[in-house]
Amino acid sequence: MPDPTRIDCDIHNEIPNLETLYPYLPDHWLDYCRESAFNGPDAADYPESVPISAREGSSARPDLAEVQNRALQDVEIGILNCAYRVQSVRNEDLAASLATAVNQWQVEHWLEKEPRLRASIVAPSHNPALAAKEIERWGDHPGFVQVILPVRAEAPYGNRRYDPIYSAAVKRDLAIGIHYGGAPGHPPTPTGWPSYFIEDYAGMAQIFQSQVISLVCEGAFERFPTLRVALIEGGFTWLPSLMWRIDKEWKGLRHNTPYVRRPPSEYMRTHLRLTIQPLDAPPNPLHLAQILDQCGAEDLLLYASDYPHCHDDQDILLELLTADQRKKICSANARAFYRL
Amino acid sequence: MTAQFGSTASVESGPVTKDQTNGHGANSPASSVQPAPRYRAPLDTAIIDTDIHIYFPTQDTLRSYLDERWQDYHRTYGQRGFDGSHYPRAMPNAARHDAWPEDGTPPGSNLPLMQKQLLDEWNIEVGVLNPLVGAGEQRNLAFGAAFARATNEWQVAEWLDPEPRLRASIIVPWEDGELSAAEIDRWGSHPGFVHALLIARTKEPLGRRKYWPMYEAACRHDIPIAIHFGGAAGVPITGSGYPNHYIEDHGGMPQTFQAQVISLIFEGVFQQFPTLKFVLIEGGFAWIPPMLWRMDSAWRKLGSEVPHVTEPPSQLFRRHFWVSTQPMEEPFKPEQFRQLLGQLDLDDRLLFATDYPHWDFDAPDRAFPVPLDKERRRKFMAENARLLYKL
């Protein structure tokens, strides 16, 4: 069976260093950056030398040539997720200017040079009004297909403070991509700061779960019925357990949130999509097949390599799929979701 | 092997009317829960309830167990914990409406009513008390220690002595490892205490070394450490800030349990304390298989950071953890619940619990959404707890 066309929904283009952005910064912030010891956002989501940051022969910050040679082979369209964490820059105006610079850089160095690529708008989402402006600036550019938000934020994404972001996104038919990482200043767990990177990494799935609960239970999908949210690099095998739990909670407590009109799992199925890497797969393929079946995964999953990050082999998943399911997960779901 | 799915999800399917008021002026929900007839299990096994809550009937009762200095302190300054993260419960005291004693004291504070509604009604052989009184959340640690000790003395005098079916929890001021160890040493050989009780939202992840003296004491007495739903740690209840609603607090507690398991395993607690046992109470359990898959995968790639973790996290979990059943996740279809039990592979570790007198009480005949074979019923309803707690 020939491989179906692939749309890769998670390829990373990282800013090499702050100087890369200097040509795109206004004089004021250029001076500020030069005069201060500022080196850019201090979020350390993927320290360059940890074993998952780059696969063998790849660099943690690949340039366009590397992405073309190693990630775009056999790929029809690749979606770039730049993880530059302007949200961890406390000065919101500087964060906004950095975001504009990042997006300009994405246009000039990636989108204009490689027609197979699409990109994600980086926005200062800790100030939703400024973030909305950034979305408006780029929203009509055909190369941008989503707004990328770090999964760790100051408040959960169902909170109404983020409505200007969603409003700007749905107006331009852009998706929201919630991506691994972020550094909002408070701990990554509900019980304080862990010691090790491996705990941050393993625990990131819980923050995705919290975001799903928030988006559904705070009514974001009722306020924005066309809002589409991709959960990127957070795993997906936890989705059935979350659906079961929150549906049960809703039966007991929905009088507290009357605007959540349908069982939470229905909103999840309708509005969420999840990328397939990291797989976090069980050792027994039967269990993975059960998970896929339990949440209706053929319509929810988006193929992603997460290049250059290094994760488990995805064949265990792809081999479970029928030709039709493979087509959906490898390209059709993404084509519909991102309007490609 | 081919996976069979039948989902009809669609981003294009335009849902219901847009509501600019965020629903505060909305009509009743458009869809309603269809009440299917609930499966009822036969009550043909012994029942051990591993999660019963008791409370002081009045603050005077608590004070009567404190010495004069702390009585005075408590009267003057009261209880001071980590403020600012309270979600009002959906119902007073998060309790069943029928669990209020006639004298107006709080649900769970009246032994005869609890005997009638729980122990006698359901023929409970043994019930484990988990008092959630806040001793461990006192910022004044010396007062927390006195508060914990008073709670333990109260449990012996007013619950264990008059009712032989009950067992108690050693309440500890968990943010101080040494004081907690002293409290465990005080009660560890008393046959009425079966575990030391912590709350899920501690100030730091429980694998951190400040908590280790407490674990050492638990090993000394061979009693498990129980981690129960709830708490206020002074940090947001998600890794991404504070949500708005109680349903997010209540429904989001499994994420806290996951954070604690990740910490305990990757900090090397079980290499340091090979006989230590943990009981996770009121956290559900469907999240366990995917969490273990992710942890194993992370350990394969990032194990070099934690060389003290010398075996797969899933193996450590299955050796060192027990899990109570309530509130259990309810899959869409009965066979999915059986799939879940298969993925869990914890038939010897699930412990039945009612959570009396709280609103989400699980009745022994209605707790499990599907029929279970007799062997599993025996284990879950009583025998796993009997072995763990040496009852």
Q: Is residue A2 part of a domain?
A: no
State how many domains chain A has. 1
> Into which CATH architecture does domain B48-389 fall?
Alpha-Beta Barrel (3.20)
* pLDDT tens by residue, chain B, 391 residues: 334 333 333 333 333 333 333 333 334 444 445 566 788 999 999 999 999 999 999 999 999 999 999 999 999 999 999 887 778 887 888 899 999 999 999 999 999 999 999 999 999 999 999 999 999 999 999 999 999 999 999 999 999 999 999 999 999 999 999 999 999 999 999 999 999 999 999 999 999 999 999 999 999 999 999 999 998 888 899 999 999 999 999 999 999 999 999 999 999 999 999 999 999 999 999 999 999 999 999 999 999 999 999 999 999 999 999 999 999 999 999 999 999 999 999 999 999 999 999 999 999 999 999 999 999 999 999 999 999 999 9
> For residue A2, what is the enclosing H or E element?
none
The reply to whether residue B327 touches residue A248, judged by beta carbons under 8 angstroms, is: yes
The domain of A159 spans: 7-337
DSSP A145: E
Q: In chain A, what residues touch B10 (CB-CB under 8 Å)?
A: 270, 299
Q: Is residue A57 part of a domain?
A: yes
* CATH number, residue A87: 3.20.20.140
Residue A300 sits at the chain B interface (C-beta within 8 Å): yes
On the 0-12 / 13-18 / 19+ scale of CB atoms within 10 A, B190 is middle
Q: Is residue A1 part of a domain?
A: no
Residue A139 sits at the chain B interface (C-beta within 8 Å): no
Residue A31 sits at the chain B interface (C-beta within 8 Å): no
Q: Is residue A216 part of a domain?
A: yes
CB A58, CB A52: distance < 8 Å:
no
Token pair belonging to A146: 């989503």
- Range 309-338 of B in CB contact (< 8 A) with A: 327, 329-332, 336
Residue B142 sits at the chain A interface (C-beta within 8 Å): no
In chain A, alpha helices (H): 27-35, 64-70, 92-106, 128-138, 163-171, 197-217, 220-223, 239-253, 264-271, 285-295, 315-318, 323-327, 333-337
Strand partners, B18: none
CA A100 to chain centre: 19
The reply to whether residue A256 touches residue B294, judged by beta carbons under 8 angstroms, is: no
> For residue A230, what is the enclosing H or E element?
strand A229-232
3-state secondary structure chain B: CCCCCCCCCCCCCCCCCCCCCCCCCCCCCCCCCCCCCCCCCCCCCCCEEEEECCCCCCHHHHHHCCCHHHHHHHHHHCCCCCCCCCCCCCCHHHECHHHCCCCCCCCCCCHHHHHHHHHHCCCCCEEEECCCCCHHHCCCHHHHHHHHHHHHHHHHHHHHCCCCCEEEEEECCCCCHHHHHHHHHHHCCCCCEEEEEEECCCCCCCCCHHHHHHHHHHHHHCCCEEEECCCCCCCCCCCCCCCCCHHHHHHCHHHHHHHHHHHHHHCCHHHHCCCCCEEEECCCCCCHHHHHHHHHHHHHHHHHHCCCCCCCHHHHHHHHEEEECCCCCCCCCHHHHHHHHHHHCCCCCEECCCCECECCCCCCCCCCCCCCCHHHHHHHHHHHHHHHHCC
ipTM over 0.90: yes
CB B143, CB B175: distance < 8 Å:
no
Q: Is residue A107 part of a domain?
A: yes
Q: Is residue A127 part of a domain?
A: yes
What's the rounded mean pLDDT across residues A263-284?
97
